[in-house]
């Protein structure tokens, strides 16, 4: 039964590339037309339990089986397998059962993705309170755990992350002495850059105790503790008003049910002439549910928004979208750098945790990269203000400011 069910699914799914499937009983099946420029992958399923789970819920089981080594890919070609899957699903070849499961998850998103303050801290700890040594294995020197900005695909990771920070700083139109709030400040790199290179006074807030500890130590080491303050605090608890608000890679953790709360808070925290820059992963498709494997193992409580989901509360709260920019392949390039760096030091990761963790983390990095290449994901940068005259009339101001800021940052490093 399960073989027949999976066979029917794969016959309808694989229209691009080719897949050879070896089953526990020793039989092999071949799917897809093959062809140059598309993946040709061979997979072995080791037991009947994995076969059954793949037939019933492949979007969850594929990652679990890879972690548990009950599904083995010839040559460990995980990039090829996930490219094959995502290109075909994006072409509309997913099964009726999987589409139904996705529709149910989408319908339940608002109800099950509620992130009250206590739950938000728990969700953040799941991912960001892992050993700091882990992140040193693959991030850049500044620990930028978000998409770099690639002027060319050949840019290195360090350069791309400098360029990202410079681009954001340019959009913030900073002046010395401005008060800036950094929502979801991570390990402090953005806040420290805005203080060091632009003279801002920054409050960074995070729900990760590990990130807070490192961010505060970095501020002391850089001699910036008088201009940068880091607090363990939910954004909903912040008070006062700021000239600028910046948030990079945090909006994905807000929860779809809280978007109006989030933007209302940003509005209230901005001075009348203030400017905010929100940088988030987004989907190019209509609103949908997160991948169940990512939700279970990597980002509980996370949600990748469609642009329509973001703009609805902005419109209702009388905020002005002064600039919307879409980054397409930048995160795919970033993730490939992270993957290659991580795999070069995989033994250190295994020593920190174990081999199953290494396979989990690799699946996360590869699946994320292929999502940005083939599965309708990108990055949205939304610049918003309370007053439409808070930013210049055209975007010409960005090029000179960003280039100058990137040069300053490179010289400082």
Q: What is the pLDDT of residue 119?
A: 60
Tokens for 66?
């890879």
Instruction: Name which of 199, 207, 212, 203 is nearest 180 in CA terms.
Output: 203
pLDDT (tens digit, 9 = 90+) per residue, 59-83? 999 999 999 999 999 999 999 999 9
Spatial CB neighbours of 221, under 8 Å, sequence gap ≥ 6: none
Backbone angles phi, psi at 380, to 5 degrees: -105, 130
**DSSP assigned state of 36:** T
Handedness of CA 43, 41, 85, 2 (dihedral sign): negative
Angle at 380 between CA 376 and CA 381, to 5 degrees: 165
Q: Are the CB atoms for 149 and 164 separated by under 8 Å?
A: yes
What distance in Å separates the CA atoms of residue 355 and residue 89, rounded to the nearest whole number? 29
Return the CATH fold of 2-94: Nonspecific Lipid-transfer Protein; Chain A (3.30.1050)
How high is the pLDDT of residue 104?
44
CB-CB contact of 90 with 50 (8 Å): no
Q: How far is CA 62 from the centre of its chain?
A: 20
| pLDDT confidence of residue 130 | 79
Mean pLDDT of the chain: 91
Binned at pLDDT 50, 70 and 90, residue 100 comes out as very low
Q: Is the pTM of this model over 0.85?
A: yes
What CATH number does domain 114-412 carry, 3.30.750.200, 3.40.50.150, 1.10.1840.10, 2.60.40.10? 3.40.50.150
- Sheet of 377-385: strand order equals 228-232, 201-206, 179-183, 242-248, 270-283, 377-385, 320-327
Pairing mode, if any, of strands 377-385 and 270-283? antiparallel
Domain edges within the chain: 2-94, 114-412
Burial class (CB in 10 A: 0-12, 13-18, 19+), 348: middle
């Amino acid at each position: 039964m399960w073989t027949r069910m999976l066979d029917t699914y794969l016959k309808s799914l694989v229209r691009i590339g080719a897949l050879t499937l070896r089953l526990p009983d020793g039989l092999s099946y071949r799917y897809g037309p093959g062809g140059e420029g598309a993946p040709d992958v061979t997979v072995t399923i080791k037991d009947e339990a994995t076969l059954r789970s793949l037939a019933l819920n492949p979007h969850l089981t594929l990652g679990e089986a890879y972690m548990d080594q009950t599904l083995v890919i010839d040559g460990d070609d995980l990039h090829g397998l996930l490219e094959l899957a995502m290109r075909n699903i994006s072409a509309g070849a997913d099964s009726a059962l999987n589409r139904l499961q996705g529709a149910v998850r989408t319908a339940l998103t608002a109800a099950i993705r509620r992130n009250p303050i206590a739950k938000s801290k728990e969700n953040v700890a799941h991912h960001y309170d892992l050993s700091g040594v882990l992140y040193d294995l693959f991030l850049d020197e500044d620990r930028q755990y978000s998409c770099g900005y690639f002027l060319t695909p050949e840019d290195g990771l360090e350069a791309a992350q400098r360029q990202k920070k410079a681009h954001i700083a340019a959009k913030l139109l900073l002046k010395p002495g401005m008060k800036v709030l950094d929502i979801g400040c991570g390990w402090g790199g953005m806040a420290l850059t805005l203080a060091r290179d632009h003279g801002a006074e920054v409050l960074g807030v995070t729900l990760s105790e590990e990130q807070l500890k490192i961010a505060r130590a970095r501020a002391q080491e850089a001699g910036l503790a008088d201009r940068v303050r880091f607090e363990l605090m939910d954004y909903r608890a912040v008070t006062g008003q700021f000239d600028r608000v910046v948030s990079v890679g945090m909006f994905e953790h807000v929860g779809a049910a809280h978007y109006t709360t989030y933007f209302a808070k940003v509005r209230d925290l901005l001075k009348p002439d203030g400017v905010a820059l929100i940088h988030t992963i987004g989907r190019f498709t209509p609103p949908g549910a997160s991948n169940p494997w990512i939700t279970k193992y990597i980002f509980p409580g996370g949600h990748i928004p469609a642009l329509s989901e973001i703009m609805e509360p902005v419109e209702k709260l009388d905020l002005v979208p002064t600039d919307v920019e879409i980054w397409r392949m930048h995160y795919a390039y970033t993730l490939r750098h992270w993957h290659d760096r991580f795999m070069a030091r995989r033994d250190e990761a295994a020593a920190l945790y174990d081999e199953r963790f290494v396979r989990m983390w690799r699946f996360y990095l590869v699946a994320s990269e292929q999502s940005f290449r083939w599965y309708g994901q990108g990055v949205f940068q939304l610049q918003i203000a309370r007053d439409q005259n808070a930013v210049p009339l055209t975007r010409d101001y960005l090029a000179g400011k960003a280039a100058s800021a990137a040069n300053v940052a490179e010289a400082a490093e």
